[in-house]
């Protein structure tokens, strides 16, 4: 694993591994023990330009290659991922502080998305549409957009980089990837190495490790990319949307969430507790779909709360290299301090503390709060850490009002003995995704993934990926002669 951080601590531009030419380095730390994993000299605006120009050159030939030949690259990448699974798992643990459960979850989903990418190579189907004009043939071609810019997050960087990168490449595009500065290897150069070894031609995937302090908006303002995908905060997403809109550039934005898991009065309480604990605390709560709020019908609130708190107290916090660890470190000290401050704020506002976890460096033990005042900002924003808010309600109407009382609309779940009651509940919730009798955290290759309100714009996966990374071109053919009015 150490060679992974040594060998891949570079930029990858036009098929070449090389250092950046910026005046400072991004230092990649292990968030658990502070070990320095890598030092990467950042890419400059000029190197971002070089990456995009390399992508534009490489795309022209890639778009014309037989899709069956493109498919072979993804089949090979999947085989390599399976061969290197343990190395990648250890890299996720080291760079992200991810536990074994989190790392395995991310890698298994990445495999599914590589399998789907192989199928996507054959999905750009054309159509022939009728015309009211005699003798006219309307041909509709689905063609790649050209070059896609991908900005990925730190929380699940291997999956959330590989997913748009592989889909865009499969559909005939070239890609420039900018990973988060806290996950430059797992979210960036590790993926570049995987595709390089799988036989992807040079220039089609470029990785620039840099920071907005160095390049400003150069990555999103560059004239070459036709689509920018971003996963991260709604604050940054709004800025990206504004800049891209001014250039009539397409965006796919997967932003924050404030998901609720709802327990109705007829729910299986033990099962709902298991679903809620996983949905809140997996990956230290650093998941956009995490159940920030756990809503429980007042008639079962006492039983649920007792069992929920008991289970949370069993969650082991500590070294992510220990397979027994459930809660590893959050990504950095800024996140750790922000989570502690959020709990302090809630307590100051009158919340009741059921479990208060200590914060030691980047290790934040789980907390459980209830009686959070309805006007508290904590109920309406994303808490990117292991803090659960238990909210009692009286009846479905109140539950739906509380669930929708947030600027976000990404995911959620409801638990009930009556499936159709759950579906009817879900249909009244303003989210892009909602789950009946399950957790709030799901992603599948064929199902459109995305949110409403401040949780983003656009969708990925399945048919929506075609809409994201291709465009439609109309070519008509007139058989015989048209009649012109003059």
Structural domains in the chain plus CATH codes: 2-255+455-474 (3.40.605.10), 259-436 (3.40.309.10)
Give pTM, 2 decimals. Answer: 0.96
What is the rounded CA–CA span in Å between residue 223 and residue 246? Answer: 12
DSSP assigned state of 104: H
pLDDT value at position 340? Answer: 95
pLDDT digits (tens, 9 = 90+) for 443-475: 999 999 999 999 999 999 999 999 999 999 999
Residue recorded with tokens 């009930």: 416
Q: Is 244 tagged catalytic?
A: no
Q: Is the pLDDT of residue 397 over 80?
A: yes
Dihedral sign (CA 116, 384, 194, 200): positive
pLDDT value at position 3? Answer: 77
H or E stretch covering 159: helix 157-170
Q: Is the pLDDT of residue 407 over 60?
A: yes
Mean pLDDT of 368-381: 93
Q: Is the pLDDT of residue 1 over 60?
A: no
pLDDT digits (tens, 9 = 90+) for 328-346: 999 999 999 999 999 999 9
Mean pLDDT of 110-125: 96
Q: Is the pLDDT of residue 262 over 80?
A: yes
Crossing angle of helices 67-83 and 100-120, in 10° steps, is: 160
CA-based end-to-end distance of the chain: 74
SS (H, E, C) 459-477: CECCHHHHHHHEEEEEEEE
Q: Is 463 tagged catalytic?
A: no
pLDDT value at position 2? Answer: 58
In a 10 Å sphere around its CB, with 0-12 CB exposed, 13-18 middle and 19+ buried, how is residue 477 labelled? Answer: exposed
pLDDT digits (tens, 9 = 90+) for 172-203: 999 999 999 999 999 999 999 999 999 999 99
pLDDT value at position 312? Answer: 98
Query: Are 435 and 411 contacting, i.e. CB atoms less than 8 angstroms apart?
Result: yes
Residues written for the chain: 486
pLDDT digits (tens, 9 = 90+) for 132-163: 999 999 999 999 999 999 999 999 999 999 99
Mean pLDDT of 37-53: 98
In a 10 Å sphere around its CB, with 0-12 CB exposed, 13-18 middle and 19+ buried, how is residue 392 labelled? Answer: buried
Find the catalytic residue in 288, 306, 396, 452.
288
What is the rounded CA–CA span in Å between residue 86 and residue 91? Answer: 9
Find the catalytic residue in 95, 106, 254, 382.
254
Kindly report the average pLDDT of the chain as a whole number: 97
pLDDT > 70 fraction of the chain, expressed in percent and rounded: 100
């Amino acid at each position: 694993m150490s060679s992974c951080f040594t060998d891949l601590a570079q930029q990858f531009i036009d098929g070449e591994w090389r250092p950046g030419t910026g005046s400072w380095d991004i230092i990649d730390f292990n968030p658990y023990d502070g070990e320095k994993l890598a030092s990467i000299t950042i890419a400059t605006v000029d190197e971002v330009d070089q990456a995009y120009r390399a992508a534009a050159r490489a795309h022209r030939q890639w778009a014309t290659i037989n899709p069956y030949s493109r498919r072979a690259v993804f089949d090979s990448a999947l085989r390599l991922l399976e061969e290197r699974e343990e190395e990648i798992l250890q890299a996720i643990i080291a760079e992200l502080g991810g536990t074994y459960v989190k790392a395995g979850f991310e890698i298994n989903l990445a495999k599914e998305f590589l399998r789907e990418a192989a199928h996507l190579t054959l999905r750009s189907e054309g159509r022939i549409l009728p015309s009211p004009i005699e003798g006219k043939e309307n041909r509709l071609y689905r063609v790649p957009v050209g070059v896609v810019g991908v900005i990925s997050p730190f929380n699940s960087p291997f999956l959330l980089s590989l997913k748009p990168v592989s889909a865009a490449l499969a559909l005939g595009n070239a890609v420039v990837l900018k990973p988060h500065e806290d996950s430059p290897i797992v979210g960036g150069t590790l993926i570049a190495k995987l595709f390089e070894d799988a036989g992807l031609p040079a220039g089609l995937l470029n990785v620039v490790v840099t920071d907005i302090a160095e390049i400003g908006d150069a990555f999103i303002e560059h004239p070459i990319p036709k689509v920018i995908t971003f996963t991260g905060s709604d604050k940054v997403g709004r800025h990206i949307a504004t800049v891209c809109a001014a250039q009539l550039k397409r965006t796919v934005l997967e932003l924050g969430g404030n998901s609720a898991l709802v327990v109705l009065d007829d729910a299986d309480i033990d099962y709902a507790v298991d679903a809620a604990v996983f949905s809140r605390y997996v990956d230290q709560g650093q998941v956009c779909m995490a159940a920030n709020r756990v809503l429980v019908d007042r008639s079962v609130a006492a039983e649920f709360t007792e069992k929920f708190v008991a289970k949370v107290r069993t969650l082991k916090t500590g070294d992510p290299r220990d397979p027994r660890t459930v809660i590893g470190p959050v990504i950095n000290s800024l996140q750790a301090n922000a989570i502690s401050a959020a709990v302090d704020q809630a307590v100051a506002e009158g919340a009741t503390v059921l479990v208060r976890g200590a914060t030691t460096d980047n290790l934040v033990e789980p907390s459980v709060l209830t009686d959070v005042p309805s006007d508290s900002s904590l109920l309406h924003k994303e808490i990117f850490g292991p803090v659960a808010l238990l909210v009692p309600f009286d009846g479905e109407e109140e539950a739906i009002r509380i669930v929708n009382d947030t600027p976000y609309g990404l995911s959620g779940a409801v638990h009930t003995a009556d499936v159709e009651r759950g579906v009817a509940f879900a249909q009244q919730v303003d989210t892009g995704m909602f789950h009946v009798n399950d957790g709030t955290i799901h992603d599948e290759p064929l199902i459109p993934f995305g949110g409403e309100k401040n949780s983003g714009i656009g969708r990925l996966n399945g048919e929506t990926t075609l809409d994201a990374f291709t465009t439609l071109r109309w070519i008509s053919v007139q058989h015989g002669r048209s009649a012109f009015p003059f």
